Amino acid sequence: MNLKNIAVFGYGLLFVGLLLAPVLGAYPVFVMKLMCFALFAAAFNLLLGYTGMLSFGHAAFFGGAAYVAGHVIKVWGLTPELGLLLGTLSGAFLGLIVGFFAIRRTGIYSTMITLALAQMLFFVALQAPFTGGEDGLQSVPRGKMFGLIDLRNDMVLYYVVLAIVIAAFLLIVRTVHSPFGQVLKAIKENEPRATSLGYDTNRFKLVAFVLSAALSGLAGALKAMVMGFATLSDVHWTASGHVVLMTLVGGLGTLSGPLVGSAVVVLLENKLGEIGHVLAEMTQIEWFSTLGESVTMVTGLIFVVCVLAFRRGIMGEIIAWLQRRRGDGKL
């Protein structure tokens, strides 16, 4: 089997698994949350993995869109599809602003700018009247999509979310393989060279930024709709750090990496308490049972380990291993 067949097989398996998950007894809301984060990470990876720009402010787009979608659905009484649309647009708009400033500097400065601007948005969200401050925006109703599809049913919502996430993911795949995506990769590899070939690299970077922000916004709006709330933790810088971690764990610059990475990170955080109890029983070390309260510590540790020893991430390692085994460099 060559790599392409393995990939098709893998995606097929994932698709079937997701189709059957709620039927097989997985808790739909949890899987939907996973899918939202997978989309978020995939959108983020479009920027970091394929354009080479590290944004540390993606929480602003994710959380900002979650607030906007929640607000227009709950307070303005708009339909869910309009909520998602406005959420996505607000992500794109914020991305345009942040991206505009971020591309004025390069490298690490650009990262610091995204972080600072996202922190600014955090303070705005903390003080603005419509976000509910520390309490967040609670009990966002789900309503009926297009006036027909009743999203209050978890199962119905599940398949709607699945369809949207798949469509968005296909858009990302298409973008990466398009001529536009090739220019982005060229910018990542060697920006001065791309400039000398006649590409206005800043414009490409900005478009990539806006696209990534818009899709992050879609993920945030979906999450607000699924969970029924938007809170400050969605716009906090730790959420930006989170999405970086998911992408890094899964594999930078691989299409499947963010999907795997987000699943690993979200599962780990949700199950850390249980894992701790099991470890405590196995090793008889009492301390492990408090692991559930130390999510930050474990996250930090994963970061350190990934950067030092595991920079290709899970999917990056698997792809590299498959290529080595076949003895050729082609994908």
Site residues for another protein per CB under 8 A: 48, 54, 56, 101, 104-105, 107-109, 111-113, 115-117, 119-120, 123-124, 126-127, 237, 241, 244, 248, 290, 293-304, 306-308, 311
How many CB atoms sit inside 10 A of residue 120's CB?
13
Question: Whole-number minimum distance, CB 81 to another protein, in Å?
Answer: 33
Is the torsion defined by CA of 304, 11, 223, 209 positive or negative? positive
Report the residue number, 12 or 300, with the smaller CB distance to another protein: 300
Report the residue number, 90 or 110, with the smaller CB distance to another protein: 110
Question: Whole-number minimum distance, CB 324 to another protein, in Å?
Answer: 22
Instruction: Show Cβ contacts of residue 234 under 8 Å, excluding neighbours closer than 6 positions.
Output: 59, 62, 63, 66, 67, 220, 223
Question: Whole-number minimum distance, CB 162 to another protein, in Å?
Answer: 31
3-state secondary structure 214-283: HHHHHHHHHHHHHHCCECHHHHCHHHHHHHHHHHHHHCCCCCCHHHHHHHHHHHHHHHHHHHHHHHHHHH
Report the residue number, 142 or 188, with the smaller CB distance to another protein: 188
Q: What is the distance between the alpha carbons of residues 44 and 26, in angstroms, rounded to a whole number? A: 27
Residues 205, 53: contact at Cβ < 8 Å? yes
Question: Whole-number minimum distance, CB 127 to another protein, in Å?
Answer: 6
Backbone angles phi, psi at 193, to 5 degrees: -65, -45
Report the residue number, 115 or 161, with the smaller CB distance to another protein: 115
Report the residue number, 119 or 216, with the smaller CB distance to another protein: 119
Question: Whole-number minimum distance, CB 211 to another protein, in Å?
Answer: 20
Report the residue number, 65 or 248, with the smaller CB distance to another protein: 248
Report the residue number, 116 or 279, with the smaller CB distance to another protein: 116
Question: Whole-number minimum distance, CB 59 to another protein, in Å?
Answer: 12
44: helix, coil or strand?
Answer: helix
The residue among 183, 264, 177, 214 whose CA lies nearest residue 93 is 214
One-letter identity of residue 181: G
Q: How far is CA 298 from the centre of its chain?
A: 20
Question: Whole-number minimum distance, CB 316 to another protein, in Å?
Answer: 14
